Amino acid sequence: MSDVFAALADSTRRALLDRLFSQNGQSLSDLHHGMEMSRQAVAKHLHILETANLVSVHWQGREKLHYLNPVPLGEIVHRWVGKFEDARVEALTDFKKQLEKPPATEQEKRRA
């Protein structure tokens, strides 16, 4: 459950999540198919997604099936981003005010 944000930073990993979104429960070979890199590279990315708890796995004989883990994406990211989202309209208003009418004193200029 290490760094979810770091796990999401790589476009290949986001692509893997996309592929799992459109087709859940795929094996490494499935996910590797059509990708422009070695199977091992894909395996590493999947392991990072596993470690970040974004993907959970289920062994089926010799195949390791990968499933989107729905929890942390919503929990962590949405919660963190939501904090800023909540202030969106308000901040936008403040920002415009700031540009239109800069305050007078030094303190106010910097702290407004």
Partner DNA sequence: TTGACATGCAACTATATGGTTGCATATAAG
Partner DNA sequence: CTTATATGCAACCATATAGTTGCATGTCAA
Shortest approach of DNA to residue 89 CB, angstroms? 27
Using CB under 8 A, pick the residue from 34, 84, 104, 105 that binds a second copy: 84
Q: CA-CA distance, 32 to 10, in Å (whole number)?
A: 16
The yes or no reply on residue 30 touching a second copy (CB under 8 A) is: yes
Q: What are phi and psi of 16, to 5 degrees?
A: -65, -40
Shortest approach of a second copy to residue 62 CB, angstroms? 12
- In which element (H, E) is residue 70 found? helix 70-72
Tokens 């289920």 identify what position?
Answer: 58
The yes or no reply on residue 57 touching a second copy (CB under 8 A) is: no
Shortest approach of a second copy to residue 53 CB, angstroms? 13
The yes or no reply on residue 2 touching a second copy (CB under 8 A) is: no
Q: CA-CA distance, 21 to 36, in Å (whole number)?
A: 20
